[in-house]
Amino acid sequence: MSKTALLFAGQGAQTVGMGKDLATAFPSAQEWFARANTALGYDLAAICFNGPDAELTKTENAQPGIFLVSWIALQLLKERLPALKFEATAGLSLGEFTALTVAGAMSFEDGLRVVRQRGRFMQEACEVTQGGMAAVIGLDEARTREVCVEAGVVLANLNCPGQLVISGEVGKILQAIDLAKAKGARKAIPLPVAGAYHSPLMASAQSKLAAELANLTLNATRVPVISNVSALPYDRPSLISAGLVEQVTSSVRWEASMRYLLAQGFTRFIELGPGSALTGFMKRINKEVQMLNVADGASLEATVKALTA
């Protein structure tokens, strides 16, 4: 019996126009966009559909926008396949909130609002620090950690073999890029981000996020949700808030999270939301599993067809 896990996109997956064709084709998608606008008190749908890019890329818009499009992608898949079953969820960074919401840890409105606030708090932290990030391609974890120690930066994302992300002060990131290339990295390139996510430079966002989460009712999840911090499932609701707060400054252990699910016998993964980065990561981790995604109308139809074959 095949076990299915749902995977949810993180920041960076946003693109102007995301969700627009879904809203045009499906009345229920329009209703979710309208419900989100009401919950937030501003027109997030218009920013997702029309941008401009500079507005959508703002952390406080990108995060709830990706959350919303990812949520709608799943609702439409369930609409088409009412018998759809899944046995676990996981999400990259902000996607962990989507994964938790889908698993029943919090309501849709609470999840959307807290992600919007998380984006605001992280944007504020970016504005008072001079941070940046860089992708390191083709260098193993041990040598990348050496680079981090020598340059005074941290390992932010362990995405898949040969694809790691470092984070820290801008000047130190530039130094780390040179060090990584000297140690044999195929590529080391700065990322177009507002700050040093998943590093100590985001610490000021943690207490604010903790206060927001303290106002939410967090429930036991209906299926296991894999924590970015531990790469293991949350085993009780009381740990969720602490994990989400810790995640702001700690490494995202995505490869380890996927290897945990693979070890548990998962053979089908469905990526929901804009982009297909998580599909790309899985191809580097395990090429044998079935990898599907729903980002727009065409990929929704392809996934429905694959699941009903």
On average, the pLDDT of the chain sits at 96
| Tally: H helices and E strands in the chain | 14, 8
Q: Is the pLDDT at 1 greater than 90, yes or no?
A: no
Confirm whether 198 is a catalytic residue: yes
Position 20 scores a pLDDT of 97
Per-residue pLDDT of 108-140, as tens digits, reads 999 999 999 999 999 999 999 999 999 999 999
Burial of residue 162 (CB within 10 Å: 0-12, 13-18, 19+) is: middle
Average pLDDT (205-230) is 96
pLDDT band at 236 (very low <50, low <70, confident <90, very high): confident
Going by C-alpha positions, the residue among 129, 234, 142 that lies closest to residue 183 is 142
Contact 195, 238 (CB under 8 A): no
Stated length of the chain: 309
Instruction: Output Rg (C-alpha) for the chain, integer angstroms.
Output: 18
Contact 248, 235 (CB under 8 A): no
**DSSP track, 42-109:** S-HHHHHHH--HHHHHSHHHHHHHHHHHHHHHHHHHHHH-TT---SEEEESTTHHHHHHHHTTSS-HH
Q: Is the pLDDT at 161 greater than 80, yes or no?
A: yes
Domains, the chain, ordered by start: 3-127+200-308 (3.40.366.10), 131-190 (3.30.70.250)
Report how far residue 208's alpha carbon sits from residue 221's, in angstroms, rounded to the nearest whole number: 24
Per-residue pLDDT of 165-183, as tens digits, reads 999 999 999 999 999 999 9
Which tokens sit at 15? 């693109």
> Which amino acid type is present at position 78?
K
Report how far residue 90's alpha carbon sits from residue 258's, in angstroms, rounded to the nearest whole number: 9
pTM of the model: 0.96
Question: Which of 198, 199, 227, 251 is labelled catalytic?
Answer: 198
Per-residue pLDDT of 69-114, as tens digits, reads 999 999 999 999 999 999 999 999 999 999 999 999 999 999 999 9
- For residue 149, what are the contacts with CB-CB under 8 A and spacing of at least 6? none
Burial of residue 287 (CB within 10 Å: 0-12, 13-18, 19+) is: exposed
Position 194 scores a pLDDT of 86
Per-residue pLDDT of 245-281, as tens digits, reads 999 999 999 999 999 999 999 999 999 999 999 999 9
Average pLDDT (148-153) is 98
> Which amino acid type is present at position 174?
L
Contact 255, 160 (CB under 8 A): yes
Average pLDDT (199-210) is 97
Confirm whether 250 is a catalytic residue: no
Question: Which of 2, 28, 70, 93 is labelled catalytic?
Answer: 93
Per-residue pLDDT of 182-192, as tens digits, reads 999 999 999 98
